[in-house]
Chain A
Amino acid sequence: MRRDIVTSILAMIVLTVLLGLVYPLLVTGVSQVAFPGNANGQKVYVKGELVGSKIIGQSFKSVVLDKNGKPKEEEGEPVTEADPKYFQSRPSATEGGAYNAAASTFSNRGPNDKLTKEEDEANIKEYLGLNKPYDPALTTAQIPVDAVNTSASNLDPEISPANARIQAHRVAAKRGLSRSAVDELVAKYTDSRGLGFSGEPGVNVLELNLALDRLTEGKS
């Protein structure tokens, strides 16, 4: 008994140093030297300012101003609406505003829950309102599911290619670009499946929007 207690105490000290300090710091050190970009979160800068991480989704909505030019608020949260010249990310339900990457969370919407249906319907309405004016043939049945369902992390950096194709109508019109120019960019920022089969192709929304900004910078 006593022997086990002594060994257990010694083991906890030695192994905590080894596995809790040496191991993670070793991995940190090697990663910082070998893969500094990845290890630090693939930060994206525009003109020296941090605009986000390449692999963390973000909201492309902007704050709505009221008549006095002040941010409009509802229940203490600023009201935002989609900026139509940008591709929009999937809906996000993180606390403290959409795409809060300091507090990832599941939405936990049940498959048989009325609320899930209502959220879906609200998202469908918003999606149609945003895109139908530019793509008149669009119907609810054609909306890809990722466009109106929240993701697991609520930080999904990607949308489906089908979702991007629909939004391309709007973005092209808003930016005065040809559809083919926008489609070309969409294809360029579509990731293929891992190893050729694992997962689904997705369009990185932040990278795509940055490329669009670069393309139209001179024009506007």
Chain B
Amino acid sequence: MTFSGWLTIFAFVVILSALALPLGSYMAKVYGGERVFLTPLIGWAERLLYKALRVDPKREQDWKAYAKSLLIFSLAGWLLLYAILRTQNAFFVPHALNPLGYHSAPWNVTFNTVSSFVTNTNWQFYSGETTMSYLSQMVGLTVQNWLSAGVGIVVAVALIRGIVSRSGKSLGNFWQDLVRTILYVLAPISVIGALVLVSQGVIQNLSTYLTAHTLTGLTQSIAMGPAASQLSIKMLGTNGGGFFNVNSAHPFENPTGFTNFFEMLLVLLIPAALVFTYGRMTGNRRQGLAIYATMMVMFLGAVAVAYIAEAHGSPAQHAAGLHTHAIAGSGGGNMEGKEQRFGIAGSALFDVVTTVTSCGAVNSAIESFTGIGGAVPFANMSASETIFGGVGTGLYSILLYVLLAVFIGGLMVGRTPEWLGKKLEAREIKLAGLAILITPLAALFATALAVASHAGRASISTLGKGPQGFSETFYAYLSQSNNNGSAFAGYTGLIQPNAGNLGAHGVTFADVLGGLVMLFARFGPIVFALAVAGALAGKRVTPAGLGTMRTDNGTFVVLLIGVIILVGALTFFPALLLGPVVQGLTGHLY
């Protein structure tokens, strides 16, 4: 561990908070329909889009109508993306956008990929530079990076509206929320972000791959492409699907220590800001601060554990005789699967940032993390996106936990639970409980199925021996059910003997099971969250009395952390013991 490592973590938290606070207020204004500084610039485009889409933004929707629009829109996106990916070498695709003439991936891998991008997961069995044409990356994948992010955010906004609404059943209008999210929130930040990244060395071109002749007479082939535009929205929208196979570890996606820092900020910006948006929209900023504090405590705990564990080094390194402490000119630590320019701290922090959110981008090989360091992303995902979480998904996930915590707190003090003046009744608690249980259910059921069957074990890499094989499998389904997308990347779903998919075939079991898990664990909780919003909307508000449990103080933060850890531990602990914990406790090699 080094001083600059801890300083990086500290500076990150300070700068993130300083940026998220004003953005949160701005977003509250956007969704409240107020004028913002961008209105004169963008207002005309907003109105034009409503016209083109034949939408009446003033038409109010109850939760069912809102959910219906959302689901049909997502289905349309799924079908279009499938069509685009399956025809990437069709005759009408211009050569410039598929310079290497890549064929489409097989149906099963494409099923997985499409489900993955539409659900904001961006789990990737394929490798960008050997599978995708530039057209597929731009017109297919980049578009879903935007849209799935937008869908996540509008659900959070609708839930907040349900919580604060005092009359009527309306949650707003899905189409209006979506258009505003894209134009007022995502677009300005994404365009600026992409240009900042290019200015630091991220590539953005439509050239064919380069062939270089190296100083020692070897030939090196170098992949190219429009990376920055996809990278920027992939981080901002907590999507996480890399343009290249190694994602944000690739020097063309993350060239310097600065871009690493910048990309981490892009990931957490909106999830952090939305917490403040919530505080503002409820009319009590302390509500937002309490949630922010809850998230930050768990976040910092995860960062500290990951950093310390990775700086310590791995059993394999020590058995080989390496010394892993920091020396002059080298940070030491477990540098297997890590880039020199990020070092241990920059890799550990990035890992936590992208696994507490549902981003799932990686700048280091998670499979090569030490047992305890690797247990951190497991634990982060076991918290089911409550530690900031994905854009929108994080906020609606933790609000469901808040509801649960208020209920448990109410039981403890023996009073009818109330939240922001609204009585919580059986219906809301049941819906929230169901929403919370979907993710663990999907993850554990799929993992069990995969480790217990021949077809499932076929995906485990040759390196995944002993507990590593279990960790690989468990990580795969936990990641997909959390719509995260990061991976112990040895887990295989596509066998590709040649670049460009000639002769490639998918592993149907892993592809299809993973795809179904992602769809189920994405749209299940969304529908339940909207149903909770519908149940809360229009409930009578009673003024807070002396006996009302407050949800904006330190006691509640402790209770909320307790509930999140309890639910995560009770559901996931047995499975975690079999994989990462065993690896962390032993110096034994398998």
Give A contacts to B, CB under 8 Å: 1, 4-12, 14-16, 19-21, 23-24, 26-28, 30-32, 34-35, 38-43, 46, 49-53, 55-63, 80, 83, 86, 90, 97, 99-117, 120-121, 124, 140-146, 148-165, 191, 193-195, 197-202, 206, 209-210, 213
Contact = CB atoms under 8 A, between A and B. Distances in A.
A145 B139 contact: no
Given A32-B205, A106-B246, A14 B52 contact: yes
Contacts of A110: 316, 367-368, 463-465, 468, 583, 590
Nearest to B315: A112
A7 B258 CA distance: 42
A106 B322 contact: no
A163 B330 contact: yes
B521 to A, nearest CB: 22
Given A4-B72, A120-B322, A114 B590 contact: yes
B223 A101 contact: yes
B53 A14 contact: yes
Most buried by A among B129, B138, B178, B363: B138
Contacts of A99: 220
A159 B583 CA distance: 29
Contacts of B468: 110, 112-113
Contact of B210 (A53, A108, A195, A197): A53
Most buried by A among B204, B332, B338, B468: B204
B53 A108 contact: no
A162 B330 contact: yes
Interface residues of B, number: 136
Nearest to A23: B229
Given A35-B198, A154-B246, A41 B205 contact: yes
Contact of B327 (A41, A144, A150): A144
Contact of A113 (B146, B190, B230, B465): B465
A6 B54 contact: yes
Contacts of A150: 336-337
Given A28-B204, A152-B246, A49 B329 contact: no
Given A11-B73, A21-B138, A34 B465 contact: no
A41 B75 contact: no
A184 B130 CA distance: 40
Contacts of A106: 246, 249, 337, 365, 367-368, 489
Nearest to A83: B216
A123 B216 CA distance: 20
B142 A149 contact: no
B251 A199 contact: no
A191 B341 CA distance: 8
Nearest to B230: A24
B211 A38 contact: no
A80 B333 CA distance: 29
A74 to B, nearest CB: 16
Interface in B504-535: none
Most buried by A among B245, B259, B313: B245
Given A19-B146, A202-B340, A86 B201 contact: no
Contacts of B347: 152
B215 A210 contact: yes
A40 B316 contact: no
B199 interface: yes
Nearest to B200: A38
Given A9-B76, A20-B140, A111-B314, A103 B230 contact: no
A55 B143 contact: no
A202 B327 CA distance: 14
Majority DSSP secondary structure for residues of A touching B: mixed
B216 A39 contact: no
Most buried by B among A43, A80, A120, A158: A120
Contact of A116 (B139, B210, B336, B461): B336
B317 A120 contact: yes
B220 to A, nearest CB: 5
Interface in B58-90: 68-69, 72-73, 75-77, 80
A157 to B, nearest CB: 6
Given A56-B251, A108-B463, A140-B322, A103 B127 contact: yes
A157 B201 CA distance: 13
B218 A80 contact: yes
Contacts of B245: 103-105
Contacts of B337: 106-109, 149-152
A154 B368 CA distance: 13
Given A21-B139, A112-B316, A193 B201 contact: no
A112 B583 contact: yes
A165 to B, nearest CB: 6
Interface string B334-373: 1111111111101100000000000000111101111100
A46 B224 CA distance: 20
B218 A153 contact: no
B408 interface: no
B222 A52 contact: yes
Contacts of B49: 14
A48 B568 CA distance: 59
Given A111-B315, A145-B324, 16 more contacts: A19-B142, A20-B138, A21-B139, A40-B224, A41-B205, A49-B213, A58-B220, A90-B340, A104-B127, A109-B337, A112-B467, A113-B589, A152-B363, A194-B260, A195-B257, A197-B11
A151 to B, nearest CB: 5
Contact of B215 (A6, A86, A148): A86
Contacts of B246: 104-106, 152-155
Contacts of B319: 117
Contact of B257 (A46, A58, A80, A200): A200
Given A20-B143, A195-B261, A12 B590 contact: no
B186 to A, nearest CB: 9
Most buried by B among A16, A104, A115: A104
B488 A108 contact: yes
Contact of B330 (A160, A206, A209): A160
The 3 A-B pairs with the shortest beta carbon distances in the complex, nearest first, are A199-B257, A194-B257, A194-B258
B547 interface: no
B207 interface: yes
Contact of B340 (A49, A160, A195, A210): A160
Contact of B214 (A28, A52, A159): A52
A60 B215 contact: yes
A39 B195 contact: no
B476 to A, nearest CB: 13
Given A163-B330, A197-B11, A4 B214 contact: no
B499 to A, nearest CB: 6
29 contacts: A7-B55, A8-B75, A10-B53, A12-B76, A12-B80, A15-B147, A23-B142, A24-B142, A24-B229, A35-B198, A39-B203, A41-B203, A50-B210, A52-B214, A55-B252, A83-B216, A86-B215, A86-B216, A101-B223, A102-B130, A103-B127, A108-B463, A109-B336, A117-B317, A160-B330, A160-B340, A195-B11, A197-B8, A200-B340
